[in-house]
Amino acid sequence: MVTARPSLVVMALVASVASGCASELPSDGVARGEALFKNCVQCHGAEAEGSTLMNAPAIAGLPQWYVAAQVTNFQTGLRGAHADDTEGLKMRPMSRTLKSASDVSLVAEYVSKLPVKRGEATLAGDAAKGQAAFATCSACHGADGSGNEAMKAPPIRQLNDWYVVSQLRKFKGGVRAYDPADTSGATMKAMAGAIPDEAAMRDLAAYIHSLPL
């Protein structure tokens, strides 16, 4: 496994968040999930709408099972521990402010109930070309991009186009799915490896962004 130490800035931020977590929180339920989510707002936004400035994706409305799985992956180092994953190295210590599986589940539940926020397209891409390439993606993510829990494939139609490209780039380069234990990531790594270049990634992202919510 590839590891790297977070920057002093990130460590200070985590210390501040951990201090805030020590204050009294609701004991259970949606109220606790909402309170815990306040630690995520600084990057992902108050409505989980994401931030291009922070390189933080929109996560509102993603299913609970997927959000919980990704937070757990960050906690364990299955994701976000690669030395070249700048955003992941920030997310990993933040994920560890959630001290129990129950809290992870509650935050994921809260996020899943937020209205989907898909930003405007930011990249130049040819959606028509991307549609042809998407046929391969639809086998797991669905023809409408709505995802498939049984295949551990999340909905992707609400993702920011820039985020789609950044993650395809990471899968293709081995920055994601670097750990053999990440079996679902390995599938994505293979699929991303078949995308010839950055232009093709932008075309694919453009088509995904065109799918109705």
- What's the average model confidence in pLDDT over 184-205? 96
Distances 124 to 22, 104, 118, 204 between C-alpha atoms, Å: 45, 36, 17, 11
CB-based contact 195:172 (threshold 8 Å): yes
Spatial neighbors of 9 by CB under 8 A, at least 6 apart, are none
Q: pLDDT at position 14, please?
A: 47
Spatial neighbors of 156 by CB under 8 A, at least 6 apart, are 137, 141, 145, 147, 164, 208
Q: Select the more confidently predicted residue: 168 or 27.
A: 168
204: helix, strand or coil: helix
Average pLDDT, the chain: 90
Q: How far apart are CA 7 and CA 22, in angstroms?
A: 23
Q: How far apart are CA 17 and CA 40, in angstroms?
A: 10
Q: How far apart are CA 154 and CA 142, in angstroms?
A: 9
Q: What percent of the chain has pLDDT over 70?
A: 89
Q: pLDDT at position 23, please?
A: 57
Residue type, position 95, single letter: S
pLDDT-based confidence at 36, cuts 50/70/90?
very high
- Secondary structure letter of residue 39 according to DSSP: T
C-alpha closest to that of 41 among 50, 32, 33: 50
CATH code: domain 127-210 is 1.10.760.10
Residue 19 has pLDDT above 60, yes or no: no
Residue 3 has pLDDT above 60, yes or no: no
Same fold: 8-112 with 127-210 = yes
> Tell me: domain 8-112, CATH 3.20.20.70, correct?
no
Domains in the chain: boundaries: 8-112, 127-210
